[in-house]
């Protein structure tokens, strides 16, 4: 893969990492829902919001881990190879999904 392409993809990954970290921080700052009171409907709503926030945080953390792993692979010279078959991942797939670990056949 050309150096310019890697630089562009790394810049994209760095931007994505910053945005995911920002979203996680924002979620953790605003994620504390008020304590449930004795009203059942209110407590059910609070519980649902807590579950939704935890689910969203887990999804964002998984995405962040994938992005950081891709940056590590760039640093190690292993970026752009499928983790299953070791064949090159197409440039179009990397452009669409810079943090992908797999070629289209193993996705």
Is 12 in contact with 98 (CB distance < 8 Å)? yes
Q: Which ranges of 1-107 does DSSP label H, i.e. alpha helix?
A: 3-30, 40-76, 91-96
What does the pLDDT read at residue 44?
A: 82
Which parts of the chain register pLDDT below 50? Answer: 36
pLDDT in tens, 81-106: 999 999 999 999 999 999 999 999 99
pTM assigned to the model = 0.82
What does the pLDDT read at residue 34?
A: 52
Other beta carbons within 10 angstroms of residue 5's beta carbon come to 13
What does the pLDDT read at residue 60?
A: 98
DSSP track, 26-49? HHHHH--PPPP-S-HHHHHHHHHH
């Amino acid at each position: 893969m050309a150096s310019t392409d890697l630089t562009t993809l790394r810049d994209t990954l760095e931007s994505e990492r910053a945005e995911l970290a920002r979203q996680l921080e924002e979620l953790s700052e605003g994620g504390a829902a008020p304590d449930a009171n004795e009203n059942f409907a209110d407590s059910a709503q609070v519980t649902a919001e807590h579950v939704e926030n935890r689910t969203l945080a887990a999804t964002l953390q998984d995405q962040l881990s994938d992005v950081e792993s891709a940056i590590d692979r760039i640093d190690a010279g292993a970026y752009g190879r499928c983790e299953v078959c070791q064949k090159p991942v197409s440039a179009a797939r990397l452009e669409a999904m810079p943090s992908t670990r797999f070629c289209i056949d193993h996705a």
